[in-house]
Amino acid sequence: MKRELTCIGCPMGCRLTAEFNGTEVTEVTGNGCAVGARYAREELTNPKRMVTALVRVVGMERPLSVKTEAPIEKRLVFDCLAALGAVAVAPPVRIGDVILENVLGTGVNVVATEDIGG
């Protein structure tokens, strides 16, 4: 079956058409470069997403903004958010500090995206 996607690899936003048999992508057209073909294959067979969230900070009302350092499998996003819901960090925190290491065994760390406290 044909699947239509928009590549998010760059601002060109190429409209991709992928032939997907339910298991694998056999052809991608409309891509301006190799990134688009790779994106279509990954999006249809093993989609990934960046995760952004807020976590509690001990002794402060204001939460801390965090994100994954890289995309994780889309099917793990809810569990990642649940894991972050159980986190409370102690200030001070600096941008880039690892807040949750190797989240869900993905090999991806969750890091602070801002300074807080201290």
Neighbours of 113 (CB within 10 A): 15
The contact pattern for ligand SF4, residues 2-31, with x = CB under 6 A and - = no contact, is -----x-xx-xxx----------------x
Spatial contact of 68 and 80, defined as CB atoms under 8 Å apart: yes
| 85 is a contact residue toward ligand SF4 (CB under 6 A) | no
| 32 is a contact residue toward ligand SF4 (CB under 6 A) | yes
- The C-alpha atoms of residue 47 and residue 102 are separated, in whole angstroms, by 19
**Residue 2: which residues within 8 A CB-CB, separation 6 or more?**
17, 18, 19, 20
Tell me whether residue 5 or residue 103 sits nearer to ligand SF4 (CB atom). Answer: 5
Question: At its nearest, how many Å lie between ligand SF4 and the CB of residue 58?
Answer: 42
Residues lying near ligand SF4 in the complex (CB under 6 A) are found at 7, 9-10, 12-14, 31-33, 35-36
